[in-house]
Amino acid sequence: MQKWQAVAGIIARGHQVASGMAKNSPYPRGTIEMQTPFFQKLGLDLSAFFPGTLNISISPRSFIIKQPEYTFKNIQWHQEYPSEDFSFSPCRVIFQEITYLGLVYYPHPETKIGHFQDPAIVEVIVSSFITQIHYGDRLILEVNPRAIVIS
């Protein structure tokens, strides 16, 4: 049975490039949709997840990826940009007493171009679009403490 570590979080505004909703984004389909085929070829099927991320602030806490379930290196997902490394770890988001399965989505900052995240922001891909969630809403994020260290 999976053990989870719970941490309180607040939905924060992201760059909106993961979902493709950003104005003037160089990724009109969104980065997640564009990256999905690359991850699928390597054994991670994201087709059951909403192709965007929730940006969850766990401030004043932060996190470190320790032993993620998946790590993919040197993914050349866009022809005009350098390759990137990505890690994923199962998680759960509890919002309004409903639990959503998810994955922590972690583009490694040392290989990520632009759109750098605050170290207190956890990007999460969830199993379905949560229509009633808004910026500033509080939720609980549960992570595998062997994979992700919350400090």
- Distance CA(95)–CA(139), nearest Å, equals 5
The answer to whether residue 125 is domain-embedded is yes
pTM of the model: 0.88
> What local confidence, expressed as pLDDT, does residue 20 receive?
43
Residue 109 domain-assigned (yes or no): yes
User: Is 2 a member of any domain?
Assistant: no
Number of domains in the chain: 1
Does residue 16 lie within any of the structural domains? yes
CATH number of the domain that residue 37 is part of: 2.40.30.30
Tokens 């490694």 identify what position? 108
Q: What is the pLDDT of residues 81-106, one digit of tens each?
A: 889 999 999 999 999 999 999 999 99
The pLDDT of residue 103: 98
Q: In which residue ranges of the chain is pLDDT below 50?
A: 19-20, 22
Query: What is the domain extent for residue 25?
Result: 8-132+146-150
Q: What is the pLDDT of residue 19?
A: 45
Q: 35 burial class (0-12, 13-18, 19+ CB within 10 angstroms)?
A: buried
Residue 99: inside a domain: yes
Q: Note whether residue 105 is domain-resident.
A: yes
Dist. CA 32–CA 39, nearest whole Å:
10
- Answer yes or no: is 141 within a domain: no
pLDDT at 116: 65
